[in-house]
Chain A
Amino acid sequence: MNEIIIEAAGIKKTLGRGAGEVKALRGIDLTLRRGEFTLLMGPSGSGKTTLLLVLGCMLAPSSGTLTVCGTPTSGVDKEGLAQIRRDHIGFVFQSYHLFPTLTAAQNVQLALDIRHERGRKAGKRAREALNLVGLEQKADTLPGELSGGEQQRVAIARAFVANPSVILADEPTAALDGNNGRSIMRILADAAHQRERAVLVVTHDPRVIPFADRIVEIEDGLLVDTGSGEPERLHLPKAAAFRS
């Protein structure tokens, strides 16, 4: 078995207060391993984003334990959590969240800059990352002049330029058409398979199922079909044949 990157056990999360209180996560056990492309699926409001936030150290669980690359996260302060994100996690957001005043290359380089990686080497790495997502020609273009698919590819390059162990993506293809969506998913799958990262993608889109090594379903704050020993339901094996 591959190395464990994220290990979550008994995660519960209550959101809101008083009458508006919602038990968004109600006891989740999940393990993400290096080289694995995992899909997280489930109906709207089932807790997918909440789970991603907890796994990504952006939201502290109400109870349960989370370990990222061997580091337990309980009791770690905000700055420490930021450090864990910086060291291990790359994010891809549904609405890209690129910096509109920076070029594509600078957007990618920013992920290195916050890690104090600067100078010509950083610029070169940023361009290499853009190269991997097929955007080397657009390196000096501002996000406003890029299509949605291109912007999302820049965002992905930004997420993995600093070599994080895990990439977490929340509906990265929701705003994209079929072709663009497929190319984004292929890039994310390659990040897992060829670059040995753990990749977790939240999606509603059944077209991406063929890319997945594993599909985790969540409903009402609980993972579906969690039997003992094998908590995640394996829809499909590594089915290269299904990938198009």
Chain B
Amino acid sequence: MSLVPTLASRNLFHDRLRFVATLVGIVFSVVLVMIQMGLFLGFGRMVTTMIDHASADLWVLPKGAKCFEDPSLLDAKLRDKVMSVDGVASVVPLVIGFSDWRLESGEMTPIFVVGADLRDGSLRPWNVVEGDVRALSQNGAVVVDRSYYDRLGVSKIGSTAEIRGRRVKVVALTDGIRSFTTTPYVFVDLKNARTYTGTFPDRASDLLVRLKPDADRDTVLKAIRSQVGEHEVLTTDEFRSRSRSFWLFGTGAGAALFAGALLGVIVGTVIVAQTLYSSTKDHLSEFATLRAMGSSNGYIYRVIIYQALLNAIIGFVIAGAIGAVVVEMTAKSALPIVITPWLIAALFVLTVVMCVASAIGAIVRVVRIDPATVFMR
């Protein structure tokens, strides 16, 4: 084995204080980037949960609808037109919107009503842990998430409250359907949803289209488009990415997260560059000796880059451990930090690139050394 790793690691561990400072810099930077990007991914996932859980092949939306939560409405009569298109199996209207929830205590809190025709199974509550979703068809039946007990002032199945002056009763409970807007989702039947959101019977928020098994999606999509005039027809994937880009970039939330991540990268690079440079400066006479002995510049670069890589790998492992704890801690929160294998891979590449880029300063310094200095001392 080459002595390059030995020399690099001894250089690195020789000055413990500097090594610790370097690691703190890298770990801070990587954890910051990881959290920002994990939030980005988590947010990106949260904003599409409803779309993900709706069983639709195509969505008919009011013109210009930016996301699932968009309050604009379309004409429910479109349903018949869409239904008549070849290859369409079913068309289910969805009514959603903000409303007010009055706790038993008299306190008011905003809620987000999600109403679908339950018999169609287009968008039913999932992760049901208690009760029966079928009971939703009763008048005044609602399904809420356990995590909103406090907010909604309920504690069990059978708890009651009011929405827009009408008595409602919890018939089933879900686990983990949380809204990134912090406004609780309340699932109700389509008819009730109209009442709670003040939507006229001839209106709907979206139409969920399901295709026949043998239908060609693109052909049907074009056919529907020609039927619905200015309304928009999107595939589920398209709707998902439109929703995501609205919440992430339309609102500036994504830009803020990226700015935070960029800051992390800059801070990390500066710290590593600084410590690597000062380490190299301290070992300059050794590098000059190597040069005098006839080593190529490449050999010396390898020592420095190896140092940078060691920094990167050790820092990444520590940051990864911290990241795992953070993920665990936020898993149950309204906005979980999501870390995917791709994010881990990207972070590793970023850490390595950051550390190696930091080595440039040190390398530039080393190129200028004059081996003759070894004789002068």
Picked from B14, B372, B377, the residue with its CB within 8 Å of the CB of A95 is: B377
Interface presence of B7 (CB below 8 A): yes
**CB of B333 within 8 A of chain A?**
no
User: Which one of A39-47, A96-104, A225-233 contacts B?
Assistant: A96-104
Contact between A53 and B7, CB atoms less than 8 A apart: no
Chain A proximity of B313: nearest CB distance (Å): 20
C-alpha spacing A86/B298, complex, angstroms:
14
Size category of the A interface is: 20 to 34
- Please indicate the chain B residues that have their CB under 8 angstroms from the CB of A170 in the complex: 375
Known contacts being A49-B375, A95-B377, A99-B286, is A58 close to B7, with CB within 8 Å?
no
User: A113 interface residue, CB < 8 Å from B?
Assistant: yes
Most central of B6, B299, B375 by chain A CB within 10 Å: B375
Q: Which residue of A lies closest to B14 (CB)?
A: A101
Residues of A within 8 A of B299 (CB): 113-114
Smallest distance from the beta carbon of B100 to chain A beta carbons, Å?
70
B182 within 8 A of A: no
**A93 and B294: CB pair below 8 A?**
no
Could you tell me the distance between the alpha carbons of A154 and B332 in the complex, rounded to whole angstroms?
62
| Chain A residue contacts of B295, Cβ below 8 A | 82, 86, 114
Say what secondary structure dominates the interface of chain B: helix
Whether the Cβ atoms of B10 and A102 lie closer than 8 Å is yes
Across the interface, which residues of B come within 8 angstroms of A158, CB to CB?
293
Q: Are A101 and B10 in contact (CB under 8 A)?
A: yes
List the B side residues contacting A89 at CB < 8 Å: 294
Please report which residues of chain A, range 63-109, place their CB below 8 angstroms from some CB of chain B when the two chains form the complex.
78-79, 82-87, 89, 91, 93-95, 97, 99, 101-102, 106, 109
Q: Which of A114-164 contact B (CB under 8 A)?
A: 114-115, 118-119, 158
Name B1-16 residues within 8 Å CB distance of A.
1-4, 6-7, 10-11, 14
With A85-B294, A86-B295, A113-B2 in contact, do A93 and B375 touch (Cβ < 8 Å)?
yes
Q: B105 near A: Cβ within 8 Å?
A: no
Decide: B289 and A97 in contact? CB cutoff 8 A: yes
Q: Counting CB contacts under 8 A, is A110 at the interface?
A: yes
- Contacts A59-B372, A110-B3 given: A91-B293 contact, CB under 8 Å? yes
Contact A58 B1 (CB under 8 A): no
The B280-312 residues at the A interface (CB cut-off 8 A) are: 285-286, 289-297, 299
Q: For A53, list chain B residues within 8 Å (CB).
A: 372, 375
Smallest CB separation, B293 vs chain A (Å): 6
Q: How far is the CA of A97 from the CA of B11 in the complex (A)?
A: 15
Most B CB contacts (10 A, CB to CB) among A49, A101, A111 go to: A101
Q: Is the CB of A102 within 8 A of B375?
A: no
Please list the residues of chain A having a beta carbon within 8 angstroms of any beta carbon in chain B: 49, 52-53, 56, 58-59, 78-79, 82-87, 89, 91, 93-95, 97, 99, 101-102, 106, 109-111, 113-115, 118-119, 158, 170
B residues adjacent to A (C-beta < 8 A): 1-4, 6-7, 10-11, 14, 285-286, 289-297, 299, 370-372, 374-377
22 CB contacts below 8 A, A to B, read A49-B376, A56-B292, A58-B375, A82-B291, A82-B296, A82-B297, A82-B371, A85-B292, A86-B294, A91-B292, A91-B293, A93-B374, A97-B289, A99-B289, A101-B14, A102-B7, A110-B7, A110-B293, A111-B293, A114-B290, A114-B294, A115-B294
